[in-house]
Structure 1
Amino acid sequence: METPPNLPVGWVAQWDSVQQRHLFIETATGRSQWENPAQFPAGPIAPIDTQGQVPHGQPHQSSKRRQYATGQTQAYYGSAEPAPYADPSYGQPQPGGQLFTPGLAAEAGFAGQQGAPAYFAPPDTGYANGQYPQQPVQQPNMNQVTNQFAQMGLGGQKPYALQTVNLLAGQPDPRDLHRPTPEIRLPPNASISQSPYVNADPSYKRSTINAVPTTSSMLNKSKVPFALILTPYRSLKEGDEPVPVVTDTVIARCRRCRTYINPYVQFIDGGNRWKCCMCSMSNEVPQLFDWDQARNAPGDRWSRPELNHSVVEFVAPTEYMVRPPQPPVYCFLIDVSHAAVQSGMVATATRTILESLDRIPNEDNRTKIAIIGFDVSLYFFTLAPGSTESSMLVVSDLDDVFLPKPTDLLVNLTESRSAIEGLLGRLSDMFQDSHTVGSAMGPALQAGFKLIQSMGGKLVALSSSLPTLGAGTLKNREDIKLLGTPKESTLLQPASSFYKTFAIECSRAQVSVDMFLFSSSYTDIASLSCLPHYTSGQTYFYPAFNASRTEDALKFAHEFSTVLASPICFEAVMRVRASKGLRMSEFHGNFFVRSTDLLAMPSVPIDQSYAIEVQIEETLTAPFVVLQTAVLHTTAFGERRIRVCNLALPTTTNMSEVYSSVDEIALATLFANKAVERTISHKLEDARDAITNKLIEIMTNYKNTMTAAGSGASAQLAISENMKMLPILCLGLLKNVGLRQSAQIPVDLRAYAQTLLTTMPSQLLIPYIHPTFYSLHSMPPEAGTVGEHGIILPPPLPLSSERLERHGLYLIEDGQTIFLWIGRDAVPQLVMDVFNLPSYTELRGGKMTLPLLDNPFSQRVNAIIAKTREMRRGPYWPHLYVVKEDADPALRLWALSSLIMDRAEQLPSYQQYLGQIKDKVNGTTY
């Protein structure tokens, strides 16, 4: 795809197989107007935007193609016009003296794309020479035209004009998940700044509703919960705006409610005072607020970051410190038992730490490190400054853990660098011949805590087996007879009170715990994950880890090194303040609630999410409300800072505005958190029912109050346009490993999935419950190439196996796993170009690393895989599994379970689910 210079916005150049240029413009109705209709290419074409993507509302692909059984590949060759890469004479001279080779663009089948082969062209498609079958233009109906004009502000519509859709009328479009959130329409002059950054970006803070009802009864009637989804420390990708920092330590706060000054306050009394947007208290403006300390001259008040940005960070003065800011402290607890050594975990972990020493936050050379090994005993290592040697001290008393030496166990990374490097280089060899079976993880945690409790820090535990000795001993309680039964939820509850009690003790001492768990057998993640949960850490799980498999070693090393290198915040507390009449009622996430609304977080990992429910306590009289999150923390470079994040939302007395402002992504994130918490105290079935019942409540009230059908029966299933993806997201939650009805899911996998559901930010959570599905063999020519915004991805398909073709190559990914599905009738050239193998029968499925071959299609497929790994926030590095259509049934079913629109075991298909919802909404049974 190429855009010629000096063309109006919307014009795109297209090249056909004989290199003739066609120009068309995309109009407001989505129709395409060709510059020269006489040059209109054969076959229907869909409009595309300047990045080569099919616009919203267009179908993903043409009508279902014929499928061919094994042995019928001759059908690919068709008539007199053979399809490239499907002809036995590939590589032989063709009529006209041309040679079919991968490097030729026109002959390769995709117009205008160098070396982009077409791996399909059944003769009934009507596309000669393997031309990519373009998608038909979808003629817009009058409702779509009206909606488009309304969105352009031309229809005289009121703010938050409600648009109702019938869910039964079509399939969900995956691209709708990437729509902007419903606009937050604040009253004029709500902010004292005209900056575009005065309201929080959804990646930092988003609300389930972007227009707040003025009364609690109205909110209850809508059935839509009011909650905030917070990711105060999200990672910054290239092109992201950095968070501005106020370095002059001049912090203006309300004397009554302690709100930080923000773009929604008012200056009064000639600018000498400011009126709080939360409680209306009048406060004095600090004397140095209008002084530029860097230039030592008067400054411009209106350029201050806190008045122009929703997210800002203050450097805190000394009155915000109980003690001097703590240094970064990392205490590594490494399982050195026989299982850990033989799996290669010890060698991989120590090598990763060694290679990450320069990436661990240590800007001011204050970082401290300790290393403790454990099996049936504890192994401490002295790391004297200036020495290249270390000595090992063994403690076998697990009942009364003590530190064998007062010094040189927790050392300065810079001063003891040589000793640390020496130990890490030989630690695996020291236990190479160990045949010890057993794990004293509990005592190791206690020892690490004793070592760092005086200053706080992070315990990083790496374990390969179930704790069997000392405090925190666990037993194998996995009972496959309970899986899929009401009693399964008992296996998801902690088996020992030690881990919660110890976690609360850690939280008080500003100690956070990360768990890296490796095991080929049961390891009781449900119990062990309590530690990260209450200390604001994170759990990582590597089932059946074996470092001899390159993929396993690469995944762990990538994730572990990313965690070690991430900027980290220590000894943090978080509080959310809101306008008068609002109160924070429930909290979900990895932290400990220290008081009614103060959340204690010994560390704040990058890209960890939290959900907080909001209650309306009294009638809201202001035209808008403000919700402010403040996180007081210590940075990795030793500064005490406060990160403040502001979100302003308008109030409304109109129920239609409430519904049209719902953020379905935030709502699904809240549902995930609440469902997981419900599994701990109730049955899994209750958690699933709660999701569906909440969806039914919302849709029932919507039908009764917002549609002509009212409380009577209706043939339609109505919902507001901005919530039309909510049912498929709820179905994705029901079919997620963490909640799915199944007797085949091991308890550890389910428990780990639940930790992901409650910690991942929305940008990671949504693909986890609604995977992404691409067709690679028939992707547009620009997919996999570099565009204006990086690698261009193919258009996503609906998550249905109806889209699978027996000659196709597909990618399915959920942020944790990537499946490459290949049909049994894939042409040999496709297999050769992607896998460097002569035919489908030579290909072996399973976990693998895809080769990067010297052909355009291989490079495009690898680029798409790399992009899917890079585009997600967080440290996760998904494994790639090649799934053959007729191969391992377990792997095949695992991949197909990602296609959540299909029926699976006892769970309904999407259409069946909608039918059940419709019956309930209409008040009938099913």
Structure 2
Amino acid sequence: MAGLPPQRDQQPPGYAGQTGGPGAQTGLAAQQPGRPSAPGVRPHFGGGFAQAPSGPLGRLPGGSGGLPEGLPGGPPPQGPGAGAPLRPPYPGAGGPASYGGAQQPGVRPPGAPVANGGPAMRSSYSGEQPRGLAPAGGGGGPPQPRAPPTFGQAPPPPGMFQPGGAQAPGFGAPGQAPAPGFLGAGGYSDAAAQAVLDHFEGLQLGPAAPGQPDPSSDPAYLPRPAGPEAEAAARPTPPYHKGNCDPRFIRLTTNAVPAQQSLRARFQLPLGAIVHPLADPQEDVPVIQLGPAGIVRCKRCRTYINPFMAWQDGGRRFLCNVCGCANDTPLEFQCALGPDGQRLDVQEHSEMACGSVEYIAPQEYMVRPPMPPAFFFVIDVSQAAVASGVLAHVCRAIRASLDRLPGGERTRVGFLTFDTALHFYNLKAGLSQPQMMVVAELSEPFVPLPDDLLVNLAESRGVVEALLDSLPSTFAVNTSVESAMGPALQAAFMVVSPIGGKLLLFQSAVPSLGVGRVKQRDNGALWGTDAEPKLRQPDDSFWKKYAAECSRVQIAIDVFIFCPSFIDVASFGALSRYTCGQLYYYPGFHPDRDGARVEAEVRHNLTRTTGWEAVMRIRCSKGLRISAFHGHFFIRSTDLLALPQVDPDKAFAVQVAHEEGVLTTSAAYMQCALLYTSSSGERRIRVHTVAFPVVQDVNELFRATDAAATAALLAKLAVEKSYSSKLDETRAAIQHKLSMALKEFRVMHAAASRGNLPHHQLIYPPSLRYLPVWTLGIMKSTALRGGKEVVTDERAAVGLEVMAASVPQLLRLLYPALYPVHDPAGDWGRPGPDGRVRLPPTVPLTGAYMSDAGAYLLDSGRIFVLWLGKRVPKDFISQVFAVDVSRPIPDNQVLKVEPALPGLELSARINAVLGRLRDQRGNYPTCFVVRQGTPPEQHVLPYLVEDRGLGTPSYQDFAVMLHRAVLSKA
């Protein structure tokens, strides 16, 4: 198919993309020979199911029908090692009710025959039945499953011990009632049978001893952030103090800090925070108009006054909570103290009552007058940009955003287009049409007109609109396939550098002329070698040097890439990474599929809240220090981050280390100060402060851990490590961190219980309940998964997203949401009392929970996938797509779920859910329709985190691997 990227043509034997051959099967829910399954229940993905060969569904034309050219398409293999079918974990989990019917597909009613006349379903592990599944009457009959807990209230995995509470029901739960019919007709009483079980449970037979269940042998008990648990899993830990800032701004990985460095060494997990200074708060951040005293700060460490300052000498002095220095209170700021030692006017001063405030900065905080918002558009107009429709969509999006550009009467704009030459545009007010000036010199580009290239938008609005309207037609017959991107960037720098601003680069063709031209270095032979990490780094020193110069003069760079072939996104990424910019990647751009996404994301980029010429510093209490920063920025000094622009789509990560061996205070503090220019021209300082206790016990650290923030920091650390290490080493490193933390917890708990822990039980603190599956999600993410089966450019693009993402964004990337949308019952898709559209409850990310008679909407944070089972009711198809269902739909027919079709309620409800999911996001995910059994279905597999893939374990396997690592002596 024209315009689509070339794909890998070498696949290992038995790869999922292989067609034909022995044991080939089609569809996610294909039945394995000799393995019975209940009607409509999709078996668990076992070994042999591979990851998608090319990565994103963004390469699929419409997300349905035939596979794009060059992609190997076909069924996953089957044979020895393939996973066994999985019984429904409990009634109702196999799939929601079918459209218009009461019967639940995927759940076998009591007494109903099993599919194909096979035996009743058993445990997913070979031959062995978990305790609680035993033949009624002592043998012969089918197993009677014990009723597990309601979904969303599942206890820890079977055999997992949760300290501080009763043993969770599951395998080996002391005192648990036997399953119905357990030895009911035998010679033993229930009490005697239970006594035998209790004695058996006390035998420490080791992790692989016969008769002992694996720690995760029943997937119903695996903790996963789905269903009613999803919201609680992502919720931050309650604040330590009411004066703390909103966790949206600073979210600590552990809401405590060890008193001794030796305790920190035992903890193993990273200690730090995700800092999101311009996150959208639930309430507005108070803005402080300065009084006669100005901004009150510590004279030694320059910490801003906050709710945790201690007042002395009747309010005439205050003690800095960060460095402990005693400061004189300015006379104009003094106030008497109450009996509790606090000032009587606390509620009159937001800076002493709120954890987040914003100051209007005085003159001494400016090195020059505040810069106006400036947008300079650098647009590729080569044949690739014109033929694909990119140029038309970009011009339309920019024109639609002109009224909403921040800055009002101060906003400036400019344009430069390029192919084999550079085209400048005189946009001087008063001209009836823009004037084009062509510069063919590429080795030393120059600016032909010193003024009127970056103009005031309000004064030159008519000329700017005329240019945007004429660009698509001006280059409509352009046949040039070359691209002089590097010289265009050099020329743009000369135009914008006097005042600073934002460069927006729109690139459609591979840069081939002048500095910055891209080399074809996507060599599959490098994977697995020491040279592999170089593929994730810039190829030429030009990229970093140019980005550093832009940061110095307050220029941020946002990059939009539309090239269908290898374009070296890792090199382009340096432009956005070091200037606090953003990279958008549209592989295989197709106007019908991606046009709405491009226009929405360009509009959002141009109109979002933006801070200009910013710097940020993060301070810690005495005895602690910020040891590392992660994100999109340039470090100007040891602890000062230069941010030419900052916006709500940028979050940063920091790691905290001990500077002294022992902390002597009872609490520690962190303060983030962001100095920036608002779009209205005010110099502002946004200050966020958080307090957290100093603890003397590692167990308290585990209890205070925020697993979601820890997973986000681990993901950023993993991506950064991948820039210098092989992917295998990176994945092993994060898995090692998790296993060492769980080992420390087990050792600590075993010592407390005098070594009386059964070996077959994997234990973990409740605070880390979901960290294993999120860690598995990191390992399976596009940024870190596999090797050659993920396109190099796609891996680099996702890695950049991870480095800039906030905690909620990263959680969606690591464990996508899967919504069943085939059942019209309920209120999903309709407005709730708060006016927001209700969402369906999510189900776990495994094929075992997906019915082939259902439809599921997958939200990965980057794309939407509407998956349709083979037996999805025809009423559903007609209600969502308005197609003729009287005859089979061809595999190559493209189905589109958007826009909503008039008069079709189910279509409107699904579109309403899509709108709700896109709400308040910086990106605009495209929705693809994928039908079970068609080749594009292979692209869905990597998103099912809990299932086994090519070189990656299932969730159950990963739990077993963790358990073995915890018990190892290494």
TM-score, length-normalised on structure 1? Answer: 0.79
Aligned to 1:67: 40
Distance in 1, matches of 2:713 and 2:638, equals 20
Equivalent position to 1:885, from 928, 932, 936: 932
Distance in 1, matches of 2:832 and 2:164, equals 32
Tell me the number of residue pairs that the alignment of Structure 1 and Structure 2 aligns: 775
Aligned to 2:905: 856
The alignment status of 1:324 with 2:377, answered yes or no, reads no
Distance in 2, matches of 1:801 and 1:141, equals 21
SS in 2 for 1:842: coil
Equivalent position to 2:943, from 893, 898, 901: 898
Aligned to 1:9: none
1:857–1:709 CA distance, 2 compared to 1 (3 A): farther
SS in 2 for 1:419: helix
Equivalent position to 2:402, from 317, 337, 357: 357
The alpha carbon displacement at 1:185 in A equals 6.5
SS in 2 for 1:427: helix
Distance in 2, matches of 1:387 and 1:290, equals 59
1:599-618 map, 5 Å: 599-618=641-660
Distance in 1, matches of 2:568 and 2:264, equals 40
Identity across matched positions, percent? 36
Equivalent position to 1:174, from 220, 225, 245: 225
Aligned to 1:773: 818
The alignment status of 1:737 with 2:782, answered yes or no, reads yes
1:850–1:485 CA distance, 2 compared to 1 (3 A): farther
Structure of greater relative contact order (alpha carbons < 8 Å, 6+ residues apart): 2
The alpha carbon displacement at 1:861 in A equals 2.2
The alpha carbon displacement at 1:199 in A equals 1.0
Kept in 1, the 8 Å contact 2:236–2:251? The answer is: no
Aligned to 1:234: 279
1:119–1:819 CA distance, 2 compared to 1 (3 A): farther
Equivalent position to 1:868, from 910, 913, 917: 917
Distance in 2, matches of 1:124 and 1:734, equals 35
Distance in 2, matches of 1:690 and 1:146, equals 30
AA partner of residue 798 (structure 1): P
Distance in 2, matches of 1:868 and 1:681, equals 35
1:136–1:653 CA distance, 2 compared to 1 (3 A): closer
The alignment status of 1:244 with 2:295, answered yes or no, reads no
AA partner of residue 579 (structure 2): T
Aligned to 1:703: 746
1:645-724 map, 5 Å: 645-707=688-750, 708=753, 714-724=759-769
The alpha carbon displacement at 1:181 in A equals 4.9
Question: Where do 5+ consecutive residues of structure 1 fail to align?
Answer: 1-63, 70-114, 129-133, 150-164, 292-297
SS in 2 for 1:532: helix
1:843–1:575 CA distance, 2 compared to 1 (3 A): farther
Kept in 1, the 8 Å contact 2:215–2:960? The answer is: no
Could you tell which deviates more after superposition, 482-491 or 633-642? 482-491
- Deviations, residues 156-193 of structure 1 (Å, cap 9, x unaligned): xxxxxxxxx9766712232444326564564xxxx7xx
AA partner of residue 319 (structure 1): E
Equivalent position to 1:570, from 612, 616, 627: 612
1:526–1:567 CA distance, 2 compared to 1 (3 A): same
The alignment status of 1:437 with 2:495, answered yes or no, reads no
The alignment status of 1:753 with 2:798, answered yes or no, reads yes
1:384-403 map, 5 Å: 384-403=428-447
SS in 2 for 1:646: strand
Equivalent position to 2:310, from 266, 274, 277: 266
The alignment status of 1:214 with 2:259, answered yes or no, reads yes
Distance in 2, matches of 1:147 and 1:788, equals 37
The alignment status of 1:834 with 2:887, answered yes or no, reads no
The alpha carbon displacement at 1:469 in A equals 1.1
- Deviations, residues 841-863 of structure 1 (Å, cap 9, x unaligned): 32666673435242433332222
Aligned to 2:501: 457
The alpha carbon displacement at 1:147 in A equals 5.8
The alignment status of 1:499 with 2:543, answered yes or no, reads yes
The alpha carbon displacement at 1:318 in A equals 0.1
Kept in 2, the 8 Å contact 1:120–1:777? The answer is: no
The alignment status of 1:622 with 2:651, answered yes or no, reads no
Aligned to 1:112: none
- Deviations, residues 809-854 of structure 1 (Å, cap 9, x unaligned): 1111111111111111112111111221233832666673435242
1:843–1:300 CA distance, 2 compared to 1 (3 A): farther
1:120–1:808 CA distance, 2 compared to 1 (3 A): farther
Distance in 2, matches of 1:166 and 1:371, equals 61
Question: Where do 5+ consecutive residues of structure 2 fail to align?
Answer: 1-36, 43-97, 113-146, 168-213, 336-342
Distance in 1, matches of 2:154 and 2:271, equals 35
1:883–1:689 CA distance, 2 compared to 1 (3 A): same
The alignment status of 1:824 with 2:870, answered yes or no, reads yes
Distance in 2, matches of 1:511 and 1:438, equals 26
Equivalent position to 1:199, from 244, 255, 277: 244
Kept in 1, the 8 Å contact 2:727–2:787? The answer is: no
Aligned to 2:203: none
Aligned to 2:676: 633
Aligned to 2:553: 509
Distance in 1, matches of 2:450 and 2:530, equals 51
AA partner of residue 467 (structure 2): L
Kept in 1, the 8 Å contact 2:99–2:876? The answer is: no
The alpha carbon displacement at 1:455 in A equals 1.1
Distance in 1, matches of 2:900 and 2:368, equals 53
1:492–1:717 CA distance, 2 compared to 1 (3 A): same
SS in 1 for 2:264: helix
Distance in 2, matches of 1:801 and 1:575, equals 46
Aligned to 2:52: none
Kept in 2, the 8 Å contact 1:668–1:726? The answer is: yes
Equivalent position to 2:523, from 464, 472, 479: 479
1:699–1:121 CA distance, 2 compared to 1 (3 A): closer
Distance in 2, matches of 1:136 and 1:843, equals 42
1:770–1:779 CA distance, 2 compared to 1 (3 A): farther
The structure where strand makes up a greater share of residues is 1
- Deviations, residues 7-46 of structure 1 (Å, cap 9, x unaligned): xxxxxxxxxxxxxxxxxxxxxxxxxxxxxxxxxxxxxxxx
Distance in 2, matches of 1:312 and 1:843, equals 59
Aligned to 1:528: 572
Kept in 2, the 8 Å contact 1:818–1:879? The answer is: yes
Kept in 2, the 8 Å contact 1:835–1:851? The answer is: no
SS in 1 for 2:562: strand
- Deviations, residues 45-65 of structure 1 (Å, cap 9, x unaligned): xxxxxxxxxxxxxxxxxxx96
- Deviations, residues 482-527 of structure 1 (Å, cap 9, x unaligned): 4566644322121111000111111111111110111111111000
1:23-62 map, 5 Å: none
Distance in 1, matches of 2:799 and 2:754, equals 39
1:700–1:796 CA distance, 2 compared to 1 (3 A): same
Kept in 2, the 8 Å contact 1:206–1:666? The answer is: yes
Distance in 2, matches of 1:367 and 1:287, equals 41
- Deviations, residues 345-385 of structure 1 (Å, cap 9, x unaligned): 1111111111100111023x111111000111110000111
SS in 2 for 1:529: helix
Could you tell which deviates more after superposition, 170-179 or 828-837? 170-179
Aligned to 1:158: none
1:906–1:664 CA distance, 2 compared to 1 (3 A): same
The alpha carbon displacement at 1:310 in A equals 1.1
Distance in 1, matches of 2:754 and 2:940, equals 41
- Deviations, residues 72-108 of structure 1 (Å, cap 9, x unaligned): xxxxxxxxxxxxxxxxxxxxxxxxxxxxxxxxxxxxx
TM-score, length-normalised on structure 2? Answer: 0.76
Alignment RMSD (CA, Å): 3.0
SS in 2 for 1:622: coil
Distance in 1, matches of 2:371 and 2:927, equals 40
